[in-house]
Amino acid sequence: MTSRVVPAIRAQAPPPPGRLRAAWAAAHAPVAGVQRWARIAAYTVPFTVLPSSLWRLGIIFDEGAASRSGDLPSWLPIQAYVVLLSVFSEVVAFAAIGLIAAWGEVFPRWVPVLRGRRVPTAAAVVPAAFGAVLLTALWTAGFAAHAAGLTLTGEPTPSDFPSAVGGWEAAVFYASYLPLLLWGPLLGVVTVAYARRRRRAGQPAVRQGGGRPAGTGPS
């Protein structure tokens, strides 16, 4: 009687730490020509969003959060909304890194059809500039309204709002949300640096001592 040998199923091993570190470094490494101040500004953008994201995630552990769902639809739990909003905010903030990294100038290989092609300058500059203006206006208006005791919709700030409660809750709230005032301006300066760098890269090189582009012969 012959016995059938069942091949062992090996679990797929997680990617080695070295590969993760390499992917992280590749996503953050600046390209040639990025100025130091632009690199610092781009790296700072995600950290302006992180405190408020962490503050919102604390709502998940609040037993009374479900009763303060506001205008959310009944099918969307506030805990799921908070997680999605926090993750989305961080992803959008991380996009600022693309304005100094290689994947902001050449589409990475995981992008279908466009992989390996140059990113059109306008395709990066226009949405980034629009986002910078929108974020600056949104958070400036939000804090101005909050200082006047109003919400963005013009309604009075609820009495149970963290800033109205006072004490450590108000301190944590302001420490978490005040950095958002820097999000738009920082994105704006990184966008300007990106546009200037791409414009310089698109200009023909000029030889020293003459105004003729390098590699061209006499007319």
Question: For residue 134, what are the contacts with CB-CB under 8 A and spacing of at least 6?
Answer: 184
Q: What pLDDT is recorded for position 208?
A: 40
**Residues 6 or more apart whose Cβ sits within 8 Å of residue 82:** 56, 57, 59, 60
CB 49 within 8 A of CB 93: yes
pLDDT value at residue 63:
59
**139 φ, ψ to 5°?**
-75, -30
| Mean pLDDT across the chain | 80
**Average pLDDT, stretch 8-21?**
56
pTM: 0.77
User: Which amino acid is residue 108, in one-letter code?
Assistant: P
Please say if the pLDDT value at position 43 is more than 80: yes
Separation of alpha carbons 51 and 179, rounded Å: 8
Judged against a pLDDT cut of 80, whether residue 178 lies above it is answered with yes
Q: Is 190 exposed, middle or buried (0-12, 13-18, 19+ CB in 10 A)?
A: buried
Alpha-helical segments (H) within the chain? 17-28, 36-57, 78-94, 121-147, 162-165, 167-177, 183-202
What pLDDT digit, counting tens, does each position of 109-164 carry? 878 888 888 999 999 999 999 999 999 999 999 889 888 887 777 788 777 777 77
Please list, in sequence order, all residues whose beta carbon lies within 8 angstroms of the beta carbon of residue 26, skipping any fewer than 6 positions away: 101, 102
Q: Are 206 and 89 in contact (CB under 8 A)?
A: no
Decide: 150 and 156 in contact? Cβ < 8 Å: yes
Residue 210 clears pLDDT 50, i.e. is over it: no
Q: Which amino acid is it at 118?
A: R
Pair 120, 104: CB distance under 8 Å: no
